Amino acid sequence: MKVLVIGSGGREHAICKKLAESKLVKELYCAPGNAGIKECAILVPIGVMEFEKIASFSKDNDINLVFVAPDNPLADGLVNFLEEKGINAFGPRKEAAIIEGSKAFSKAFMKRHNIPTALYEEFDSYENAKKYILKINKYPIVIKADGLAYGKGVIICETEKDAINALQEMMNSKVFGDAGSKVIIEEFLEGKEVTVLAFTDGKTVIPMPSSQDHKKAFDGDKGLNTGGMGAFSPATGYTSAAEKETIERIINPTIKGLFEEGRMFKGVIYFGLMVTKDGVKVIEYNARFGDPETEAILPLLKTDLMEIVLAIQKGELDKIKVEFEDKASLCVIIASGTYPGKVVTGYPINITAKLSDDVILYHCGTAIKDGVLVSNGGRVLCLSAKADTIEEAREIVYKEIDKVKFEGSRYRTDIGVK
Ligand code: AMP
Ligand code: GLY
């Protein structure tokens, strides 16, 4: 098959690497990709939101399948768009991807289907939201932009002043654009955070090993939320009791609820969970592989990824066996110095010594400029390793990580410690 992957991050590098290993994939393309993806796929200079160009390229090059990995094109209906043109695409359609694209939708969906989540209120007027905040006397509270905001649209507010500021930024200053026209204000959940990714064809669901992301920019969970600074698998808080509860009360009702509402979800669904003392609750849904969770999870996948993709498309996920290595894994993001703020790109990346064969260096935001590998984003690289335990995987990654550097580069030193 000829496959085109849409996206350009570490997640897409991990997906491309797996697809390149598939015996079912003859030619692999990635749009727009990055300098690391170039090692396993042919790069196509088309942006992820250039729907017409993606369709023309696919037609002109007889692409058999377009794998849509990132949130924005999924939420905006790239899969629908391609299908309407007779092009085979992998990922949820817009009607299903809305569980990520609108937090207001996903919260109301969970309410309709009795799926446990934080209590919340929704506002599209700054004045009403402010009035509500002035009545709250229990902090912290969580304020979320309704729409997509590159993983940065959630603010945990410790005081009333923080909350009013956050509202002001989202609703009046529009720091997240239209994504912040509507906000969700919800209770703060205490517990252990867990990510569960699952393959689903809309009826059958196969959860992948659990993982845990580290969203905050700095060690000790300090600083602003980022897209994710590192991840490990399996998640420590995900006991077998929590897993059972999650499948029964969250995963199965979500897939069934979407199906019943005519929003059949085909692809990879992401459950962001909090294991609290009152049970497991949903923090968020995503309609895709997580980043950087994918860089920790996919190296463990034993089954041919393309075989799974095809089974999902045919609605035959119940007919195949999906296997993962029974191991731990861990990955650490190497970011630009000022990420998640505004970053300067174009710094040459130095790999000062040969990396051990025990690690995989995924590229998240890199490019080749005048023949030189340079940084090209906030999250630039991701170093991943698997081992028998999380501690061992951690040791391997941190032993190697200082071999990879660029001006101002930085990483968290405590991934997998807590
Ligand atoms: P989200 O983009 O919705 O995943 O939120 C980003 C991060 O904010 C999550 O990964 C959590 O660490 C945190 N968060 C979001 N909602 C809540 C909540 N209700 N209670 C506690 N933490 C939350
Ligand atoms: N790692 C969080 C996300 O992919 O949204």
- Whole-angstrom distance, CA of residue 181 vs CA of residue 167: 10
Q: Whose CA is nearest to atom 4 of ligand 2?
A: 290
Can you give the residue ranges of every domain in the chain?
A: 2-91, 119-187, 192-319, 328-405
Instruction: Considering every ligand atom shown, identify the ligand nearest to the alpha carbon of residue 193 and give its number.
Output: 1
Burial string for 346-358 (b: 16+ CB within 10 Å, else e) reads ebebeeeeeeeee
What percent of the chain is modeled with pLDDT above 70? 100
- pLDDT tens digit sequence for 93-106: 999 999 999 999 99
Residue 281 and residue 274 in contact, taking contact as beta carbons nearer than 8 Å: yes
Nearest residue CA, atom 10 of ligand 1? 215
Average pLDDT, integer, range 177-194: 95
Q: Is residue 291 lining ligand 2, measured as CB closer than 6 Å?
A: yes
Q: What is the pLDDT of residues 117-155, one digit of tens each?
A: 999 999 999 999 999 999 998 999 999 999 988 777 889
Q: Which residues pair with 257 in a beta bridge?
A: none
Q: Is the CB of 7 under 6 A from ligand 2?
A: no
Ligand with smallest separation from the Cα of 152: 1
Query: Can you point out the beta strands (E) in 60-181?
Result: 65-68, 89-90, 120-123, 141-145, 154-157
| Domain formed by 328-405, architecture | Alpha-Beta Complex (3.90)
- Nearest alpha carbon to residue 35 among 369, 341, 354: 369
State the sign of the Cα–Cα–Cα–Cα dihedral 243, 320, 309, 358: positive
Pocket test for ligand 1, best of 196, 270, 283 (most atoms within 8 A of CB): 283
pLDDT tens per residue across span 288-305: 999 999 999 999 999 999
CB 154 less than 6 A from any atom of ligand 1: yes
300 three-state secondary structure: helix
226 CA distance to ligand 2 middle (Å): 9
Q: Is the CB of 151 under 6 A from ligand 2?
A: yes
Give the model's confidence band at 231: pLDDT under 50 very low, under 70 low, under 90 confident, else very high.
very high
**Confidence class of residue 61 from pLDDT cuts 50, 70 and 90?**
very high
Ligand nearest to the CA of 229: 2
Cα gap 214→234, rounded to integer Å: 14
How many Å apart are CA 305 and CA 217, to the nearest integer? Answer: 31
Please report the pLDDT score of residue 225 as a whole number. Answer: 85
- Ligand 1, pocket-test mutation among 150, 154, 225, most atoms within 8 A of CB: 154
More confident residue, 148 or 16: 16
So what's the pLDDT on residue 153? 87
Q: Specify whether domain 2-91 bears CATH 2.30.130.10.
A: no
pLDDT at site 224: 86
Q: What are phi and psi of 377, to 5 degrees?
A: 175, -175
* Ligand 1 contacts CB of residue 118 (under 6 A): yes
CATH class held by domain 192-319: alpha beta
Average pLDDT value for residue range 358-375: 97
Identical fold, 119-187 and 192-319: no
Q: How is domain 119-187 classified at the CATH fold level?
A: Dna Ligase; domain 1 (3.30.1490)
Q: Which ligand is the nearest neighbour of the Cα of 139?
A: 1
